[in-house]
Structure 1
Amino acid sequence: MAFDVTIQPSGHTFEVEDDETILEAGIRQGFAFPYGCRNGACGSCKGRVLQGEVDHGPTKPPGITEAELADGMALFCQAVAVDDLEIEVREIGAARDIVVKTLPCRVAALNRLADDVMELRLQLPASERLQFLAGQYLDILLKGGDRRSYSLANAPHDDDQLVLHVRNLPGGRFSTMVFEELKPKGLLRIEGPLGSFFVDEDSPRPRLFIGGGTGFGPLKGMLDHLAAEGLDRPHHLFWGARAADGIYAPEWLQKMAAEHAEHFRFTPVLSDHPTATAADFPAISGWPHDAVLAEYPDLSGFDVYMAGPPAMIHAAREAFLAVGLPTDQLYYDSFEPAVPAE
């Protein structure tokens, strides 16, 4: 049985089957909502149910609180319709013309960026091209139905190869393969582009970027895209790592700072082993969100883009909203752990 869903404030409508989530139905019919992990953990797809009823299943997803559920909020990546719905959620028009594809690819190169970070370059067949927005991610499709999500670290105009930054996680199925088994010319299958983490280019506000670890990857893709378009306002990148060697793109950072000195700043933030500099930039000791608030105590006039581990995203989100950052000026991609296929 199908139910009708009306999106507010746009008034757009689509149908959702009783065996699919609201997010799945919207994407299938060309309506792009914010989303990230798709497993109920990150909370990116949260919206409000104005009329009707949804079901999140037998257990509450971790990305939403009981208070939010009581207030009419829902996680659309997990919620299914019980009857016709009217929902309030931000639509993302830029993604509606992007086609999600499943494609074979070859490993073009493996470049060690740090002891625990590998740049994985993928080459698509000559007859194929993956159109994407800077900041989106793709899934590596593994045997047995498992998939691993990685953000694209290159910009759409530089798409001869697809570039991923892979951190070596102890026991990680795919990261172990990348660091120990995968060779150039090896074959993989991907699905993408996915996600709603990309730049609102219609906004006139200055932008802050906060990355933790390999969360730098999608931010690099965004900044490369914006630089190609011509930076016309302040852009400040904060990159958090444990120690200076975790800031693994010194040449790129120095080039950006030299070529866009008027509109680009970079601040490394080191948590465990603070040093005077990282990649030749003065470093701050502590946590990225604290460094941001020390420099920008009033965030109401900024657009903020964050990517990295869930703990960093959660702490920064709570801190930034508490000082008045509007929710519609905060964009984030939380690198939630992979959920094995059942």
Structure 2
Amino acid sequence: MTFQITVQPSGHRFECETDETVLSAAIRSGIGLPYGCKNGACGSCKGKVVEGQVTHKAHQQRALSEQEAADGFSLFCCALASSDLVIEAREVSGSTEYPVRKMPSRVAKLDKVAPDVIIMSLQLPANEALAYRAGQYVEFLLKDGKRRSYSMANAPSSLDSPLTLHVRHMPGGLFTDHVFNTMKERDILRFEGPHGTFFLREESDKPIVLLASGTGFAPVKALVEHLIHLKSSRHVSLYWGGRRPHDLYMNELCEQWAMILPNFRYVPVVSDPLPEDRWSGRTGFVHAAVLQDLPDLSGHQVYACGSPIVVDSARRDYVALGKLPAEEFFADAFTSEADLAQS
């Protein structure tokens, strides 16, 4: 059976099969609903069901609370239509500009830049390129239909260079154990992409806050490189947080940006430094450091990427407390299999 979905306020319509999620049907139809993880963990695809009924596949309660569900909100990445629907969602212009493709790639280089971080460089087939927006991600296609998502860490303006991804080791992880223990250069990997609506809103001239934790720096790096490519004059503040100084594995690059780029500021934050680290910089929670420096975010855009707890805390403290308009908060929460296993 096929249901008709109508999006407000745009009036766009698309068809949805009973066995596909509302988000999957929208992507297939070229409708730019916002989304991140596609598995019910991050909440980026949350919208309202104005008319009709949906049922939800498994998802995390922090992404959609019982009260939100009772109020008519839905996670469209997990929502199966039970009737024709009228939904309310903020569409993302340009999110469907580049087609999603399945491509082979060859591992060109594995560079261990921290005890638990490898920068993986992928070489695409000759005369092939992946068109994407800085900040988007690809999904590696593994055995048994499993997928693992990683953001591109270089801007699309460098399409003649290998695609780079930042991989953090999750002990026991199906993919990251392979990357850290058995993967070799010249191995072949297949991926699908680009995915996601975490990318620069170029129509705005508002000052930007880039908030990254851990390997959430990867898409943020791509955003900075894209801003450099655009010769943008927008003011940019990059806050990058880690538990120990070595978690800021490209700290020198960020310091170089701060030295050579006008209107660019870099604030590294370490939450749990040890005495032997001899850390003399900012400490505490990285999202809190932003408010210490910028208590009024009303005129800014915030791009937050990294662990769910950092993204959720930023959303709560910036948006829910009225310091930042909700429509100016853009996020990509890096969810692991352990995150998905939580109720």
1:138 maps to 138
Q: CA deviation at 1:250?
A: 2.9
CA deviation vs aligned residue, 1:154-202 (integer Å, no higher than 9, x gap):
0001122111000111111211111111111111111111111111111
- After TM superposition, the structure 1 = structure 2 runs for residues 146-165 of structure 1, keeping only pairs within 5 Å, are 146-159=146-159, 160-165=161-166
Counterpart position of 2:331 = 332
Q: State the TM-score, normalizing by the size of structure 2.
A: 0.94
Measure, in 1, the Cα distance between the counterparts of 2:56 and 2:171. 32
Q: Which residue in 2 is equivalent to 1:122?
A: 122
Distance 1:292 1:57 in 2: 35
Alignment partner, residue 254 of structure 1: 255
Contact 1:140 1:190 in 2 (8 A): yes
8 Å CA contact 1:297–1:323 kept in 2: the answer is no
**1:31-52 deviations in Å (ceiling 9; x for gaps):** 1211111111110100111122
Structure 2: unaligned runs, 5 residues or longer: none
Equivalent pairs, count: 336
Note if contact 1:34-1:44 (Cα within 8 Å) is conserved in structure 2: yes
User: What is the deviation of 1:130?
Assistant: 0.7
- Give 3-state SS (helix, strand or coil) of 2:192's partner: strand
Contact 1:167/1:175 (8 A) holds in 2? yes
Query: Deviation of residue 227 (structure 1)?
Result: 1.1
Distance in 1, matches of 2:251 and 2:61, equals 39
Cα distance in 1 for partners of 2:148, 2:188 equals: 15
Q: Which secondary structure state, in structure 2, belongs to the residue aligned with residue 103 of structure 1?
A: strand
> CA contact under 8 A between 2:104 and 2:188: conserved in structure 1?
yes
Q: Percent identity?
A: 45
Aligned to 2:307: 309
One-letter amino acid of the counterpart of residue 336, structure 2? P
Deviation readout 1:216-240 (Å, 9 max, x if unpaired): 0100001100111013121000000
- Go from structure 1 to structure 2 and tell me whether the alpha carbon gap of 1:175 and 1:298 turns closer, same or farther (over 3 Å shift): same
Q: Compute the displacement of 1:264 (Å).
A: 0.5
Q: Secondary structure at the match of 2:158?
A: coil
Alignment-derived partner of residue 294 in structure 1: 292
Q: How far is 1:59 from its partner?
A: 7.4
Deviating beyond 6 angstroms after TM superposition, the runs of 4 or more aligned structure 1 residues are 274-278
Whole-angstrom CA distance in 1 between matches of 2:274 and 2:232 = 31
CA contact (8 A) 2:59 2:78 kept: no
Tell me how far 1:258 sits from its aligned partner. 2.0
Cα distance in 2, alignment partners of residues 250 and 32 from structure 1: 34
CA distance in 2, matches of 1:323, 1:13: 33
The farther-off stretch of 9-18 and 317-326 is 317-326
Which of 278, 282, 285 matches 2:283?
285
Deviation at 1:93, TM superposition (A): 1.9
User: So what's the TM-score if we normalise by structure 1?
Assistant: 0.94
Q: In the TM superposition, what is the alpha-carbon distance from 1:274 to its structure 2 partner?
A: 6.7
Matches within 5 A, 1:4-19: 4-19=4-19
Residues 95, 196 of structure 2: 8 Å contact kept? no
Residue 238 of structure 1 is matched in structure 2 by: 239
